[in-house]
Structure 1
Amino acid sequence: MTQNLRRSVVLGALGLIAATSALAQPAWPSAKPITLIVPFTAGGGTDGIGRLFAQKLGQQIGQSVVVDNVGGGGGTIGTQKAAQAAPDGYTLLMAVDSPAAIAQYVNPPAVKYDTQRDFAPVGMLSTLPLVIMGRPGLAASSFQEVIALAKANPGKLTYATSGIGTVLHLAMERFQQQAGFRLVHVPYRGGAQAITDLIGNQVDLAILPTGSAVPLVGSKKVKGLAVTDARRLPALPEVPSITELPGFKDLAMTAWIGIFAPAGTPAPVIERLSTEMNRVLQMPDVRAKFAEQAIIPGGGSAADFGAFVKSEQSRYERIVRTANIRE
């Protein structure tokens, strides 16, 4: 057999194998419903975003998408369940910043999954700017004034978040590291009690996502001090971006939500999901619903989202180690 003939035979065999493999792949989606794991209990803001996405994705692909709320462990239990699911395109995870990219550094023994190893990124669903707020009686009306007040009274001012190791907590730690001042962290189990205590002047500051913060600041119940996004919020145009402050130019930090599939999910399925997700995010009614809560629609490719998550993990790890945050 000549070398050219041998090469033709080998290439032909490889082509046959590839074709056979492609034929063996079942069509996606089939009649089987798709499960979207939301790693928090029903009824919260994250759940609402998940249910809206599930409904619209189902309409796009002509298949039922069912939300499975798996709460507990700050989102790590649901995230772990998704990591162990079959990589067949019928289980997706609503990937939230804290369990997906922070928890492994704050509480390593409790996290049994590895985000880079166990998941395939699909795309960015949304980003949620955070708002730093002051109590009504606070002797400061801007974040710069808060910094000056904190430096003059070290260890006196308090700030509330919805928990240790959340992106809210890490954002405030990063800002303190940057400007060289110290606040006392008061972690709550969720944002409701933090809001009550802020309005009641029981804590000096609070940092919360836009969905909770915009109504409070807009109604003048609390003071809006800074937005952690790179630009001001249309819903709160009078509140400056953190990046407008001296020394904070590159320090924007937002909460984020994306979609993961279990690692090993076929590439064509990931590509289709990413395409349909981007179409959902362009729907006028979806964008209007997001705008009501000052949520910024995501988008982009699966590769873009994967690179973003990796970058965020690196940033979070540095903050956690510098501040020695442990749960």
Structure 2
Amino acid sequence: MRRRRLLAAPAAMALGNASARAQAPYPDRALRLIVTIPPGGAPDVAARILAQRLGERLGQPVVVENRAGSNGQIAAEAGARARPDGYTLLFAQDTVITVNPALYERSPINVSTDLVPVASVASNQFVLSVNPGLPARTLAEFIALARRSDPPLAYASGGSGSQHQLAMEMLMRRAGIQMLHVPFRGGTPAVTATVAGDTAAVFSGTSSAPLIQQGRLRAIAVTGPRRSPAFPDLPTIGEMFPGYEVVIWLGVFAPAGLPAPVLALLRGGINEALGDPAVKARLEAGGGLEPFVTTPEAFAGLIRHDTEKYGALIREIGIRPE
């Protein structure tokens, strides 16, 4: 009898410890934030800014882990396959969620069912820039030049199916022009090619502001619904072609099945972090980004809208990844 009691004691202690761990308040250890690109790009910078401030609010470190490759699909799969306990999150740009489903016929995950949106984080818009040697200083002059150019003007993009390409394809359709697409492996080499004069034009993020200020690029328009704070004198493309709009956004996602209380805690922590003026200043300095706080309903609606918009364009053009 005494032996049975002695043997039972460690088992009871182990069960009690397991129960205590199960009931420990969330979070009780470090979180992992998976980023879809290598270190250094604007999404990575934004993720690290958010991770630091979110970690302070949660009382646990948030560790950034870069999983680059396959247009973000490697990172997205890692995020979707993780346990839905709130300790692994995905930090993704909009193309991973809204473009990839139409671009790739086969994908290891379904982003609409395997991932749940936690919160929007930041937004930006493209700047349409041209090589300074191009005889076009306004959007109207650029369109007129493209219409009469033979051979067609060449434009650079960050790759087949990139938002750079989709933004230009949308403009070509609205303006009735044709241009030659020259894809590169990322936005930075695409901008470099336009600075060098190898291509005539490029859509780039507002992080290209230094090149524009130095006169190495000439900016002629922006793609957002309103003028950019970084370039207040530039018109939107929508001013000439009503309804044209391309907004770039970043958001945090979690594996489907994340408990509602954990989701609410994370969303609240992210929104609080984005409301900090210091975070806003760091996002602007780190890539011309603006904090982007939405309701869950508005964020879900934006994802549906962009998925339909880009999906239709990709199917119409017949774009396939390289």
What TM-score does the superposition give when structure 1 sets the normalisation length?
A: 0.88
Moved more, 95-104 or 73-82: 95-104
Which letter maps to 1:124?
S
Contact between 2:49 and 2:283, CA under 8 Å: does it hold in 1? Answer: no
Distance 2:52 2:41 in 1: 17
Separation in 2 of the partners of 1:249 and 1:37?
37
Greater mean alpha carbon deviation, residues 266-275 or residues 186-195: 186-195
Among residues 255, 268, 286, which one is paired with 2:261 in the alignment? 268
1:230–1:243 CA contact under 8 A, matched in 2: yes
Amino acid at match of 1:295: L
Q: How far apart are residue 30 of structure 1 and its match? A: 3.1
Given the alignment of the two structures, is residue 87 of structure 1 paired with residue 87 of structure 2, yes or no? no
CA distance in 1, matches of 2:22, 2:294: 26
- Equivalent position to 1:215, from 210, 235, 240: 210
- The whole-number CA distance in structure 2 between the counterparts of 1:186 and 1:100 is 24
Match of 1:57 in 2: 54
1:267-306 → structure 2 map (5 Å cutoff)? 267-292=260-285, 293-306=287-300
Question: Which residue is 2:114 aligned to?
Answer: 118
> What are structure 2's unaligned runs of at least 5 residues?
1-19
More displaced 10-residue stretch of structure 1: 125-134 or 26-35 = 26-35
- CA apart distance, 1:205: 0.3
1:99 matched to 2:96? The reply is: yes
TM-fit CA distance, 1:326: 1.1
**Counterpart in 2 of 1:132?**
128
Cα distance in 2 between the residues matched to 1:301 and 1:63: 25
1:317 aligned to 2:299? no
Tell me which residue corresponds to 1:226. Answer: 221
1:102–1:70 CA distance, 2 compared to 1 (3 A): same
| Cα 1:28–1:113 shift into 2, 3 Å | farther
Q: Which residue of 2 aligns with 1:8?
A: none
Q: Does 1:73 align with 2:70?
A: yes
| Counterparts of 1:192 and 1:287, CA distance in 2 | 24
- TM-score (normalised: structure 2): 0.89
Match of 1:242 in 2: 237
Q: Report the counterpart of residue 16 of structure 1 in structure 2.
A: none
Distance 2:27 2:273 in 1: 20
1:145 matched to 2:141: yes
Give the structure 1 partner of residue 320 of structure 2: 326
Partner of 2:200: 204
CA RMSD of aligned residues (A): 1.7
Give the conservation status (yes or no) of the 8 Å contact 1:123–1:304: no
The alpha carbon displacement at 1:44 in A equals 1.9
- 1:148 positional shift: 1.4
Whole-angstrom CA distance in 2 between matches of 1:130 and 1:26 = 46
Q: Is the 8 A contact 1:97 1:167 kept in 2?
A: no
Is the 8 Å Cα contact of residues 122 and 305 (structure 1) preserved in structure 2?
no
Structure 1 residues 155 and 253, CA, compared in 2 at 3 Å: closer, same or farther?
farther
Match 1:43 to one of 40, 56, 69: 40
Residue in 2 aligned with 1:157?
Answer: 153
AA at the equivalent of 1:160: A
Deviation of the 1:215 alpha carbon: 1.3
Q: Would the aligned equivalents of 1:155 and 1:182 in 2 still touch at CA under 8 Å?
A: no
Higher mean alpha-carbon deviation, 290-299 vs 68-77, is at 290-299
- State whether structure 2 residue 170 is matched by structure 1 residue 174: yes
Aligned to 2:249: 256
Q: Shift of the alpha carbon at 1:238?
A: 2.2
SS in 2 for 1:259: strand
The CA distance in 2 between the partners of 1:288 and 1:264, in whole Å, is: 34
Any stretches of 5+ residues in structure 1 without a counterpart?
Answer: 1-22
1:155 to 1:74, Cα distance in 2 relative to 1, 3 A: farther
Change beyond 3 A, Cα 1:266–1:154: farther
Percent identity reads: 34
**Deviation for aligned residue 1:178:** 1.7
Distance 1:138 1:263, change over 3 A: same
Q: Contact 1:119–1:260 at 8 Å: present in 2 too?
A: yes
CA contact (8 A) 1:167 1:254 kept: no
The separation in 1 between residues aligned to 2:53 and 2:36, in whole angstroms, is: 19
Q: Per the alignment, do residues 296 and 154 of structure 1 end up closer, same or farther by CA in structure 2, a change over 3 Å counting?
A: farther
CA distance in 2, matches of 1:149, 1:216: 23
1:25 Cα offset (Å): 7.0
